[in-house]
Amino acid sequence: MAKRKNKGLGIGALLGGINPDIETSKQAKQEVVNDLSNTVAFVPLENIEVNPFQPRVDFDPDALQELSDSIAVHGLIQPITVRHLGDNKFQLISGERRLRASKMAELEEIPAFVRLANDQEMLEMALIENIQRQELNPIEVAITYGRLMKECNLTHKQLSERVGKGRATITNFMRLLKLPETIQKGLEMNLITMGHAKVLLGVDDFAFQTAAYSEVVEKQLSIRELTALIDLHKKGGNQKKSKAKKELPLPYQKVQKDLTSMLNAKVNLKADEKGKGQIVINFSDTTDLNRILDLLDK
């Protein structure tokens, strides 16, 4: 059985006559919530039902067994959070891993913070606790941010305040969901880092983006090496575009060549798609200019 802390109370003594179905004034309800927020109660495990909105579904069996062994010896140190449903019934808000481990340790009751919350508030609290776990990978964080915004109707600013993160940080995580699924999976499996993902987000060419990702995985490229690879690709693309712009259609090339031969001077001919353009004739000095003018007169 979990060792009781000094501030821990029996659940009956704590809740007394509180009934979540009874309408109370806003002030009275706030006082109850404030009282429950700072008090740890001991709740029978048989009275706690699972959270249908639980965002986390996979639990490592070995890690769960280790936690269960620890709880069996030392008790549950970090209380779970539950929602009071009435009639001594509770619904888990957060702490499913601790709840599962406590059941494996065959405890009868565990410490819990009790909340009075509607379904949206319960989901929000569960997601926020989930996102604060350090072992979450960037994609899981991004998905959770998305769920908080969509399912709890939060703006970027409100989400920033809820999770204690800057709006820029939240935006950066959300942008990860724009990456191809292959790259998202690689980030989820720690094949690449968040830094690699940010660099890949700067690539508009889907084909090259996925090719660059494969290069990172196969050759274990650093972020700096990936950046250099992308810069080289962009530079090559710009050179090809520049070359394509300077390339004259064959008829114009012939005119430019004929003029160069006729005047014995370098001639540059430029023309747009409508056929408009200009002819630039280069000369070395005044004597050369007069020579060219004489040829043009003839």
Catalytic residues: 96
Encoded tokens for 191: 């094949």
Tokens 């029996």 identify what position? 10
Phi, psi of 36 (to 5 degrees): -70, -30
Contact yes or no for 213/192 (Cβ under 8 A): yes
Run of H or E residues at 280: strand 277-281
Distance CA(112)–CA(39), nearest Å, equals: 8
The Cα 18–Cα 84 span in angstroms is 9
- For tokens 């209380």, name the residue: 79
Instruction: Give 152-169 as a DSSP string.
Output: TT--HHHHHHHHT--HHH
